[in-house]
Amino acid sequence: MNDFVNIFTDGGSRGNPGEGAIGVYITYSNNNELTGFGKKIGISTNNVAEYKAVLEGLDFVARNKEKLKGITKIYFFLDSLLVYSQIVRLYRVKDSKLKDLLFSVWKKEREIETPIFYKHIPREENKKADMYVNRALDSK
């Protein structure tokens, strides 16, 4: 039974700020892949890209409610300690752009209505999402 999904997100920019991209990799509770993708987001900082990756994961869930019917929990895995700490309210956000993105995350969480949990993980455990970021950045 697939009662939860794992969403691995990553964002990056070449330059900081520079050309930015996000990566999202989603599995069911049995570790079977649901989807994975990356996309360019234009000129961005690393932190903005990390937030946009989380938002893209949330958007995927919101767009696929029927496909995810029966999912009772959503687990996000991020390798950005800053973004993780801001989302779970351990750190305050001073930067206005990041604050706007954070509020967008919280708003999207409320719309989804499924409990969402966040975990910070080392980069080595986020290789698939990172691969999607780099694939997007390398694409023409």
- Specify the DSSP class assigned to residue 17: T
pLDDT of residue 2: 75
pLDDT of residue 101: 98
CA distance 133 to 22: 5
Question: What's the pLDDT score for residue 140?
Answer: 80
Class of domain 4-138: alpha beta
Give the single-character DSSP code of 69: T
CA distances from 59 to 21, 100, 122 (A): 16, 16, 24
pLDDT by residue, tens only, the chain of 140 residues = 679 999 999 999 999 899 999 999 999 999 999 999 999 999 999 999 999 999 999 999 999 999 898 999 999 999 999 999 999 999 999 999 999 999 999 999 999 989 999 999 999 999 999 999 999 999 98
